[in-house]
Every structure is written in structure tokens, then in C-alpha cells.
């Protein structure tokens, strides 16, 4: 019997949202305990700041350039490497419960297996009898009550009246809805009348518990429990709104209240920042096309932050329920728990919401915690070295005691800083490529030695000369762009040279984008 | 999509609007006059007007109608000879909202792959 693995992900959660990382609003005692007992990574980055590419990196252990899912809407091929397959092949029982999103959500022709499974109510095999991505059991959910997901099917069969209680994510033009609600009319804000026990966070925990209860005590297992929150829409059950009163919240530290100051910060960054702020250049589908960030109000920022904190508390409590099941099954000493998210959220930083080609801590600095099985005897630590989600697959293989798969592009996570250099954790890389509707933005980013450098490749609004350079230690909010500082020309050149040396070459031919998300 | 079969051979399938489900990722097709109803695996059903069915040009055009989301649409399939034994099939879509065009294009990619396989194995 080996070590079991509970892999917990959220969607679009900031590093600073957790108590263990300095968060002071949402109460997250369960995750904080995992951090205290395990390894807390304070400089973990995704390899893409949107869902599908980032999740594809998690499961393949590869950079975006290699797995080829360069943006949302580009499906990860069914035959792509999968750490779940690797673990399944050595005898692990495997499950993914919650948000998968390796394949496009918008799929009216039902071309993709994830959506076929969710629609049919099957849990494992595709129409050809193959185990999909190595999971014995897949139960899917997303951000509401509609779509080709098991959760939507469950809601339709059991509580159809609740489907319409959720915010409608898309508008009638199939764009991400910009209509506002709640108390402040903030975009994607909504008071949701759904009872808490029917909400997707609870459902993900319920289904995880049911799957764990179906296992034999001696089974080795890998369970990816994937919460759709706190990704927008911001519509937690309204019964929980009492937890955080938005009127009591301070504005985020990185929200420049003064409009002149805010716009000066944006103007010092590459031009796509200000153009988006003005509503003139929306290059990410998931930022509502008809919403103009410039219209964001202080109170909308407060309310959106409050709702996010509430969603994070519900996640923490759902995790606690699952951990009680783990303990009740007698597995507490033998389970490794890894907690992270796929990318961050601007959440008011720089006067912006949602996400896009903004390679700053708001989107790139992620919570990442590895609580090794107590039986492994690994000492708790805080790791400050730069690491990436690209290391998760090899970490899971390491936990399971199998050789590092040949397909991965990064060694396992270090258990302490002294171990990081030998495992290659000196830098972490992030890529962005968007072309939707003719708006081309391409970024390549390196983080190392306390610097974050981003090169803007030629595109619709960049000529290849622009970029961003931040001294993260002295400018933790990344407000001062040093890209054009002549005193730092050598630093910039060294960082970019290392980045180009370290990035894998892009897979060719580039895969088609089949949907916007 | 290049297909190693004569244009008239490929057109015998593509040029029959009632046989769409034999190569495109749809589940059922019903044609009455110049009207077509196409069923998708997701349960959606599109009502379409057949705009062009030209057996000389080997061009088929259709438009999705009476749809709450699709404001305008024109799909065109051309089968163009490339010598006596080979042809190229071109599927193009204009749509509003533009997101719909992207999803149809993805399905068309699958459809053309299946069409090539079906034709070249026949």
C-alpha cells in the first residue's frame, strides 16, 4: 500500500486570499493547517493565466509550448500525456471531481468527451471504451447550473428550480455577460437564492466523499477535487452573505483609488493595459467584451472582494468535510494533500477585474501547498524559490514512488529551499497567446532572482519592443515598470536570454482554437 | 481539405443536404423542400433555409433561421476539382454572433476529416 493523493484545486484564486498567506478577511483554517503542517510555496506561478492551458500543464507536466493548449478553446488531445494515466497504470484508483476543462465548454455539437460524459451521465469511458485521461471516474461541474456537466444534470434531475437561480454566464450574443447585480451592479455579481447544500462547492465535496467511500481501505488512490469557485460569476448562496459585509471592507492594497494615479500606473505598462481599461481592446474572452474597466467603482470592488472571500470560506469548509471522511476511513497518516489553483484574479488591482494578458502577481502568484502524508516524515517548511504548476505531475509520481515520467518538463517540487537548485527550480516561465477575433497578444515571462520580466511579442498593439520588468522585492505591487530603465538593461537582457534558453520550442503545427472557452 | 477522390464522387454526398449527418458531427437531418432541420448531440436543433444547391458549380449554401441566438448566418460548402482524381472541399461560415462561427468552424474541421476518411476508404 502506497501513499494516497488528494489534489485540491480551485479556480482563479489569489495567493493573498488565504490566512496562511497574509489574508485577513476569509477564514481558511483548514487550508492554513495544511500549510502549517506541510510546505507552503510563496512564489508559485502557473504556466498560463487562463484555465485550459494551466490545467493542461497540471495534468501533463508540460509547458504550454509543448502540450499545445495555447489558449482557452484549444482542446488538449485525448492522447496527451496524463499523470492520472501514469498512476492508474501502477494500480492507483483515479478520479477527477469538479471542474476539468481540458476541453472547450462551448460545445453544441458535443464533440468532446468531457461534455459527452457530463451529458450522458457516464463517469468514465468514452464512446470507444478508452479511459479518458486515465481517470476511472470523472464527475464534472462548472460555474453554474447549465452546460454539459454532471452537476448540471444532477441539478436538473433533483432541483430544476435552482438552475435559474445562478447568474447567466453568457449573454444572448454568446459573449461573457457584463450585466451587473448584487448591491453595487458590479459585473458578474449576483444574489443567488440557491440553498447552500445545492451549490456547486458543496456538490463537489459531496461527490468526492461518495467516491472515497466507494473505495476499499487498502486501495491506493489519486483524487483530483476541483472546485469551480472563486472564479466569476460572483454568486455564492445568498444565505452566506452575512459572513462578510462588503461595506466593512477596506479596498485592496493594489487598487489605486485616485484615478489619475491609477491611469499613470497603467500608462507605464505596455499599451494593452490602458487600452483594455478604456474598453478599447479586450483580448481575453472571459473578460466581458462590453464591460469597460474604467467604469469600475470603489463599492463594486468591495462587493466583489467580499463575495470572493465568502466563496473561499465555503471552499475551506468543504475541504474540511472531505478531510473528515479521509480520517474516518483511517487514511489520515497516508494521504498527501496538494492544494493550489489554476491562476489568479485581478480583483480590483490596478482598477481591473477578471484576467487577461497581465503577467503580474495578481494573476501569476498562486497559493500552492503540499502537505506530505504524515507517515512520510517530511518536515514543514516555507519554500521561497520559484516553482511552477508544471512540477505537479512529477510531484505526484514522486509521492506514488514511480519514476519521473519521461513526458514531464520539470522535476518535482522541492520540500525545502536548499533542495530547489538541484531540482532546477531557479526560474519559472509563463506564456500568453491570444488571437480571438483578430486581437493578437503574445507574452513570454520569466520570474527569477526576485525579478519578473515579460516580453511582448509582435501583435495587434505591440511591435515587439515593449515589455515589463519588475523588482518584486522592492515593488511587490508591481506598479513601477522598469523595462525602459537604462540602468537595468543588463539585468533585463540576462533575464530574457535565460527565458529564451529555457522555454521549450512551440509545438507545430499550432492546434486550432475550436471555441472561445 | 484535399480529398483523393473525384469532385463528382465527393459531391454525391456533400451535395445531398439530407445526408449531412453522414459526415458532419450531427445526429439527424430532415429535409423538406428548401427547409432543413439539423439535430445536434447536445439536443439543440437548427432550422435552416437551403439557399443554394448548384450541382454544376458543386456549391451548397444554407442559413440558420428562426434562432434566438443566431442573428445572421451563411454557410457555404464548395467542392472544387483538382484534376480528375482529386478535389478540395472548402467550408466557410459567416455568422453573427461571431462566437457561433468559431464553434461551427470547429465542427466543420471534424466533419471534413470524417468526409475525407469516408470518401477515401470507399
Q: Kindly state whether residue A442 falls inside one of the protein's structural domains.
A: yes
8 Å CB contact between A363 and A284: no
Per-residue pLDDT of chain B (122 residues; tens, 9 = 90+): 999 999 999 999 999 999 999 999 999 999 999 999 999 999 999 999 999 999 999 999 999 999 999 999 999 999 999 999 999 999 999 999 989 988 999 999 999 999 999 999 98
- C-alpha dihedral sign at A305, A311, A103, A173: negative
B99 with A110: Cβ contact below 8 A:
no
**Structural domain count, chain A:** 1
A373-426 pLDDT, tens per residue? 999 999 999 999 999 999 999 999 999 999 999 999 999 999 999 999 999 999
Buried b / exposed e over A284-294, threshold 16 CB at 10 Å, is bbbbbbebebb
Q: Kindly state whether residue A517 falls inside one of the protein's structural domains.
A: no
Task: Return the residue of B nearest to A437 by Cα.
Answer: B98
The pTM assigned to this predicted structure is 0.96
Q: Kindly state whether residue A137 falls inside one of the protein's structural domains.
A: yes
Of A73, A109, A516, the CB nearest to B40: A109
Pairing of the two strands A366-371 and B72-81: unpaired
Distance from C-alpha of B100 to C-alpha of B73, rounded to nearest angstrom: 9
Q: Which residues of B touch A106 (CB under 8 A)?
A: 99, 103
Q: Kindly state whether residue A55 falls inside one of the protein's structural domains.
A: yes
The mean pLDDT of chain A is: 96
Question: Residue B99's domain spans which residues?
Answer: 2-121
Max Cα–Cα distance, chain B, nearest Å: 44
State how far residue A18 is from chain B, nearest Cα, in angstroms: 36
Pairing of the two strands A186-187 and A381-383: unpaired
Q: Does A437 touch chain B (CB under 8 A)?
A: yes
Of B41, B42, B97, the CB nearest to A173: B97
A110 with B40: Cβ contact below 8 A:
yes
Q: Kindly state whether residue A185 falls inside one of the protein's structural domains.
A: yes
Buried b / exposed e over A50-85, threshold 16 CB at 10 Å, is bbbbbbbbbbbbbbbbbbbbbbbbbbbeeebbbbbb
Q: Kindly state whether residue A512 falls inside one of the protein's structural domains.
A: no
How far is CA A487 from each of CA A197, A245, A452, A490, rounded to the nearest angstrom?
A: 57, 46, 16, 8
**Structural domain count, chain B:** 1
Q: ∠ CA(A80), CA(A83), CA(A86), 5° rounding?
A: 95
Q: Does B102 touch chain A (CB under 8 A)?
A: yes
- Residue-wise DSSP of A44-84: EE-SSSSHHHHHHHHHH---HHHH---STT-PPPTTS--HH
Distance from C-alpha of A379 to C-alpha of A415, rounded to nearest angstrom: 8
ipTM: 0.93
Question: Residue A140's domain spans which residues?
Answer: 4-502
B99 with A104: Cβ contact below 8 A:
no
Q: Kindly state whether residue A509 falls inside one of the protein's structural domains.
A: no
Per the rule left: phi > 0, alpha: psi between -120 and 50, beta: everything else, A347 is: left
Q: Kindly state whether residue A510 falls inside one of the protein's structural domains.
A: no
Distance from C-alpha of B86 to C-alpha of A150, rounded to nearest angstrom: 45
Task: Return the residue of B nearest to A104 by Cα.
Answer: B103
Pairing of the two strands A39-45 and A366-371: antiparallel
Q: Which residues of A touch B106 (CB under 8 A)?
A: 104, 109, 111, 512, 514-515
Q: Does A434 touch chain B (CB under 8 A)?
A: no
Grouping H, G, I as helix, E, B as strand and the rest as coil, residue A39 is strand
pLDDT of residue A507: 83
Q: Which residues of B touch A111 (CB under 8 A)?
A: 25, 106-107, 110
Q: Does B90 touch chain A (CB under 8 A)?
A: no
List the CATH number of the domain containing A49: 3.40.720.10
List the CATH number of the domain containing B89: 3.30.530.20
Of B68, B98, B103, the CB nearest to A437: B98
Q: Does A488 touch chain B (CB under 8 A)?
A: no
Amino acid at each position: 500500500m502506497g501513499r494516497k493523493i488528494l489534489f485540491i484545486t480551485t479556480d482563479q484564486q489569489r495567493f493573498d486570499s488565504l490566512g496562511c498567506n497574509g489574508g485577513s478577511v476569509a477564514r481558511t483554517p483548514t487550508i492554513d493547517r495544511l500549510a502549517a503542517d506541510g510546505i507552503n510555496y510563496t512564489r508559485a506561478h502557473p504556466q498560463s493565466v487562463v484555465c485550459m492551458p494551466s490545467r493542461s500543464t497540471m495534468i501533463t507536466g508540460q509547458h504550454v509550448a509543448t502540450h499545445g493548449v495555447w489558449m482557452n478553446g484549444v482542446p488538449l488531445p485525448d492522447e496527451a500525456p496524463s499523470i492520472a494515466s501514469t498512476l492508474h497504470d501502477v494500480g492507483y484508483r483515479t478520479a477527477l471531481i469538479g471542474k476539468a476543462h481540458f476541453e472547450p465548454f462551448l460545445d453544441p455539437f458535443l464533440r468532446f468527451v468531457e461534455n459527452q460524459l457530463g451529458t450522458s451521465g457516464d463517469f468514465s469511458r468514452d464512446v470507444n471504451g478508452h479511459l479518458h485521461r486515465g481517470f476511472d471516474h470523472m464527475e464534472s461541474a462548472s460555474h453554474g447550473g447549465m452546460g454539459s456537466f454532471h452537476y448540471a444534470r444532477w441539478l436538473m434531475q433533483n432541483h430544476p428550480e435552482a438552475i435559474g437561480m445562478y447568474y447567466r454566464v453568457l449573454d444572448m450574443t454568446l459573449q461573457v455577460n457584463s450585466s451587473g447585480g448584487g448591491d453595487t451592479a458590479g459585473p458578474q455579481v449576483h444574489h443567488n437564492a440557491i440553498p447552500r447544500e445545492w451549490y456547486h462547492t458543496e456538490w463537489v465535496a459531496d461527490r468526492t466523499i461518495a467516491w472515497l467511500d466507494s473505495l476499499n481501505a487498502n486501495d491506493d488512490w489519486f483524487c483530483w477535487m476541483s472546485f469551480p469557485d472563486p472564479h466569476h460569476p460572483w454568486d455564492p448562496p445568498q444565505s452566506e452573505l452575512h459572513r462578510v459585509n462588503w461595506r466593512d471592507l477596506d479596498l485592496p492594497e493594489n487598487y489605486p483609488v485616485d484615478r489619475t494615479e491609477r491611469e499613470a500606473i497603467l500608462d507605464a505598462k505596455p499599451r494593452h493595459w490602458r487600452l483594455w481599461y478604456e474598453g478599447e481592446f479586450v483580448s481575453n474572452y472571459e473578460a466581458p467584451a462590453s464591460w469597460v474597466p474604467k467604469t469600475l467603482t470603489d463599492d463594486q470592488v468591495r462587493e466583489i472582494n467580499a463575495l470572493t472571500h465568502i466563496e473561499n470560506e465555503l471552499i475551506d469548509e468543504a475541504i474540511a468535510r472531505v478531510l473528515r471522511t479521509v480520517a474516518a476511513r483511517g487514511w489520515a497518516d497516508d494521504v498527501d494533500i496538494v492544494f493550489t489553483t489554476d491562476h489568479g484574479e485581478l480583483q480590483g488591482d490596478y482598477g481591473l477585474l477578471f484576467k487577461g494578458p497581465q503577467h503580474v502577481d495578481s494573476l501569476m502568484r498562486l497559493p500552492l501547498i503540499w502537505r506530505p502524508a504524515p507517515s512520510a516524515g517530511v518536515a514543514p517548511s516555507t519554500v521561497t524559490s520559484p516553482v511552477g504548476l508544471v512540477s505537479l505531475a512529477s510531484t505526484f509520481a514522486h509521492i506514488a514512488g514511480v519514476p519521473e515520467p519521461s513526458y514531464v518538463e520539470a522535476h518535482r517540487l522541492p520540500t525545502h529551499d536548499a533542495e530547489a537548485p538541484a531540482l532546477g527550480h531557479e526560474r519559472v516561465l509563463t506564456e500568453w497567446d491570444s488571437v480571438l477575433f483578430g486581437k493578437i497578444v503574445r507574452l513570454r515571462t520569466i520570474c527569477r532572482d526576485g525579478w519578473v520580466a515579460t516580453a511582448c511579442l509582435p501583435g495587434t498593439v505591440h511591435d515587439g519592443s515593449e515589455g515589463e520588468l519588475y523588482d518584486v522585492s522592492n515593488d511587490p505591487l508591481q506598479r513601477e515598470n522598469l523595462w525602459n530603465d537604462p540602468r537595468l538593461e543588463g539585468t533585463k537582457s540576462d533575464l530574457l536570454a535565460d527565458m529564451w534558453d529555457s522555454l521549450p520550442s512551440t509545438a507545430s503545427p499550432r492546434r486550432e482554437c475550436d471555441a472561445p472557452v | 481539405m484535399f480529398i483523393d477522390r473525384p469532385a463528382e464522387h465527393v459531391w454525391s454526398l456533400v451535395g445531398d443536404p439530407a445526408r449531412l449527418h453522414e459526415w458532419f458531427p450531427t445526429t439527424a437531418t430532415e429535409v423538406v423542400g428548401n427547409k432543413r432541420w439539423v439535430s445536434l448531440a447536445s439536443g439543440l436543433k437548427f432550422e435552416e433555409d437551403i439557399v443554394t444547391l448548384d450541382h454544376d458549380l458543386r456549391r451548397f449554401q444554407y442559413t440558420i433561421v428562426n434562432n434566438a441566438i443566431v442573428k445572421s448566418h451563411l454557410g457555404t460548402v464548395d467542392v472544387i476539382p483538382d484534376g480528375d482524381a482529386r478535389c478540395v472541399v472548402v467550408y466557410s461560415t459567416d455568422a453573427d454572433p461571431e462566437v457561433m462561427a468559431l464553434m461551427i468552424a470547429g465542427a466543420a474541421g471534424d466533419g471534413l476529416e470524417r468526409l475525407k476518411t469516408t470518401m477515401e476508404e470507399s
